[in-house]
Chains A and B, each alone.
Chain A
Amino acid sequence: MTEHDSKLNILAPIETRPRLDRLERLVRRSGGGRMTRAEALGLGGLALLAAAGCGGKTSTGGGGGASSSGAADPLAGKPMESNLVIYNWSQYDDPSTYKSFKTENHVAIKETYYSSNDELLAKLQAGGTGYDIIVPSQNAVGELVQLGSLMKLDKALIPNASAVESSWVKTSYDPTGEYKVVKDFGVTGFFYNNKIVTEKPTTMKQFYDLLPKYGKVGRTNLLDGAEEVVPLALMALGYDPNTGDPAVLDKAKSFLLSIRSGVTTIDSSNYINDASAGKIILGQGWNGDMRRIVSARKKKGDDITAVLPQGASEKWADNWCIPASAPDPVAAHAWINHLCDPAVAVKEMEYHNYPIPIQAALDQAPAELKNDTLFNVPTSYTDHYKFILNPSAEIVNARTQIYTAFQSA
């Protein structure tokens, strides 16, 4: 899940975020619904432009230089600090997790929030320090590693992390597996109204090919943002989502333009509600959101089928990372270790509804979660899925240009 929250990026000053969040929480709780991360982001996204606007800018390499936790082990045996500063997506962790961490470690936690990876990167690049824990998505981890802004994790202080499934340790955005512990993950699939769409598509390519036909029948939706639209199309065509090859990008562009007339909306923040109300007949979606859509339609004709695509699609991961400049590194490691405790991880999953790749925790998860492939996506799928990264500024610019052409077509 990358910068899909570019929907409502203006309007509210950043100081109003906590209040908006509280309001949103109240509304959600009283409505009995569980908030998805995308919704939290959509709301939080309001504050984004303000933040980006005043983020200012520094040249690369800000952040006090890369830490060199090389031969000697500077953290082993050091005492636990008394503070922990977390910079996180809002409402992304169970309140009980904070409580149990505080009682176990006697550490005071301070948490502030961001609503997109761009906001996080802008903050760190503008020289923002003082954070012990950050939660970047895979593409941002890649950038931060390049910039030397992340601390190499001391795995001796995170014994619980050894339980993380091996396929989520050494990843394409962190090949050595030294800079992050995966917090949770998700994938991108699609859903369709099975009363209207009769073809039973199973791959992303088949999904795209149906758009021109069904765009005339009802509303179709693609996830928005250059970083979704272009790489997803590349994967459907069988290419590397992170390619910078101009010829291949051109193919993706002409493919996208060829299906453009079949796309009614390009939206990532309202589609859950609209699809739950039965307004979308064919659309892309993130697995967690699609679970909600399917369960919302259960009582209303059970007309939505959600598909985890065969072949290539997107997988994303949010990650626990420690900035190189973290003032409380021991407490930060303890925090990550705490979150990898299976008992804590189960509560976390029940709270945010995204899987944590720790088998012991998944085994203890409620049956309705662990037996649902839309939640517990089998590795037979994720093994074929790829991370969408930001390999270079040129590639991202090229994607943005294609996306603009797609939008304005």
Chain B
Amino acid sequence: MTTETVQPPKRSPRRRSFAPRYPGWLTAPSLIYYMIFFLGPLAILVVFSVATQAGFGSVSYTFSTSQFKALNDPLYIKVFRQTMLMAAGGTALTIAIGYPVAYWMSRYLTRYKTLALLLVIVPFWTSFLIRTYALKIILDPQGYLAHFVEWTGISNQFNVLYTGKAVAIGLAYNYLPLLILPVYASLERMDWKLVEAATDLGASPFKAFRQITLPLTLPGLITGALLVFIPMCGEYVVPQLLGGGQFAFVGTVIGSNFLGAQNWPFGSAMAIAFMVLLSIFVVIYIAFATREEQFGA
């Protein structure tokens, strides 16, 4: 074997651009905003997380990993696990509802595509809180939906509100557009001739979907799934309102440590630890987002 390699033809390092070049300092306002309101608070959080509590709402600035050690407690590991399981459940439900909708919009609609897209986004314009309260009314065991379900005989006791099911429904409903849009985009960009070719070659519709459509839209699907999974992990309002306050999400526990216990170092440490954990998913997200760009699927 020779080790000779064929050099790919070198592209010129910079293509000539005819676009006007603006001075870079024009981005200064955005960067300053970003630093003050995003990186600054993050830095404060990091400083708090290695400090120790010195009484109510007061902090002694040291470098101590004691907060993180205290986090390594079966209780908090359980809270982390429960949060991620609930978010995973919510994400699965979102995919189960969102993917078919996106598929239908992209594949079956022509004239009303834009209208359908609009209808997906419109609920998003309403306040998150109001939508969640609305779900409380819909899921009420004495509400219309409950009467309907009991009337049809599907179940004689419609007991959904203040259970994990209600939290999953609330999560899925609130984040649905964030999944539908990327999936829809990747379905739109897909070359449907590939599916035609597959069926011509004798593939069943299911096989064609599994072997062509799904792999090609997977980057979009994963992007969407993480786009909903990550904020679901940080959810605070939905478990409070629809779970009746009986689900300890990470956000809820951070809240009670900051506000109730005024233990800012511990709350910060919890926030930082969870952020690190979620970064793993962000890395997956970036990997898929770039892959999607490469394949353009």
Contact = CB atoms under 8 A, between A and B. Distances in A.
A153 interface: no
Interface in B231-258: 236-237, 240-241, 244-248, 252-253, 255-258
A121 B262 contact: yes
Contacts of A118: 57, 259-260, 262
B78 interface: yes
Contacts of A396: 56, 260-263
A224 interface: yes
B255 A49 contact: yes
Given A59-B54, A264-B244, A404 B60 contact: no
Contacts of A225: 256, 260
Interface of A: 3, 6-11, 48-49, 52-53, 57-60, 116, 118, 121-122, 125, 143, 219, 221, 224-227, 263-267, 270, 279, 390, 392-393, 396-397, 399-401, 403-405, 407-408
B197 interface: no
Nearest to B60: A59
A3 B260 contact: yes
B195 interface: no
A267 B244 contact: yes
9 contacts: A6-B260, A11-B127, A226-B256, A226-B260, A264-B244, A396-B260, A396-B263, A407-B248, A408-B79
B138 interface: no
A295 to B, nearest CB: 21
B204 interface: no
A11 B237 contact: yes
Given A401-B75, A408-B79, A279 B259 contact: no
B244 A3 contact: no
Contact of B259 (A3, A219, A267): A3
Interface in B126-175: 127-129, 140-142, 162
Contacts of B82: 408
Of the candidates B244, B253, B256, B260, the one having the most CB atoms from chain A within 10 angstroms of its own CB is: B260
A118 B262 CA distance: 8
B248 A404 contact: yes
A390 B75 contact: no
B55 interface: yes
Given A121-B56, A390-B56, A407 B259 contact: no
A403 B261 CA distance: 11
A221 to B, nearest CB: 8
A370 to B, nearest CB: 35
Nearest to A395: B261
A399 B237 CA distance: 22
Contacts of A392: 55
A3 B57 CA distance: 15
B245 A265 contact: yes
Contacts of B184: none
A400 B246 contact: no
B208 interface: no
Given A265-B246, A405-B75, 12 more contacts: A3-B259, A11-B129, A59-B58, A60-B58, A122-B262, A264-B162, A393-B53, A399-B261, A400-B257, A404-B79, A404-B256, A407-B252
Contacts of B259: 3, 6, 9, 48-49, 52, 116, 118
B58 A6 contact: no
B71 to A, nearest CB: 12
Interface of B: 41, 53-60, 75-76, 78-79, 82, 127-129, 140-142, 162, 236-237, 240-241, 244-248, 252-253, 255-264, 266
Contact of B162 (A219, A226, A403): A219
6 smallest beta-carbon distances between A and B, as pairs: A265-B244, A408-B248, A407-B248, A266-B245, A400-B261, A60-B58
A224 B255 contact: no
B261 A60 contact: no
Contacts of B75: 401, 404-405, 408
A404 B253 contact: yes
Contacts of A407: 245-248, 252-253
B244 A393 contact: no
Of the candidates B41, B127, B141, B255, the one having the most CB atoms from chain A within 10 angstroms of its own CB is: B255
A49 B58 CA distance: 17
A403 B75 CA distance: 11
A10 B132 CA distance: 14
Contacts of B79: 404, 408
Contacts of A6: 255-256, 259-260
B272 to A, nearest CB: 15
Nearest to A263: B246
A406 to B, nearest CB: 9
A118 B82 CA distance: 28
Nearest to B61: A59
A172 B59 CA distance: 27
B260 A57 contact: no
Contacts of B240: 7-8
A41 to B, nearest CB: 13
Nearest to B128: A11
Contacts of A393: 53, 55-56, 261-263
B257 A57 contact: no
B56 A266 contact: no
Contact of B237 (A8, A397, A403): A8
Contact of B266 (A10, A52, A263, A397): A397
B144 to A, nearest CB: 15
Contacts of B141: 279
Of the candidates B55, B258, B262, B264, the one having the most CB atoms from chain A within 10 angstroms of its own CB is: B262
Contacts of B162: 219, 264-265
Nearest to A143: B56
A281 to B, nearest CB: 12
B244 A266 contact: yes
A407 to B, nearest CB: 4
Of the candidates A121, A221, A396, the one having the most CB atoms from chain B within 10 angstroms of its own CB is: A396
A307 B176 CA distance: 45
B5 to A, nearest CB: 56
B78 A52 contact: no
Contacts of A121: 56-57, 262
A266 B247 CA distance: 9
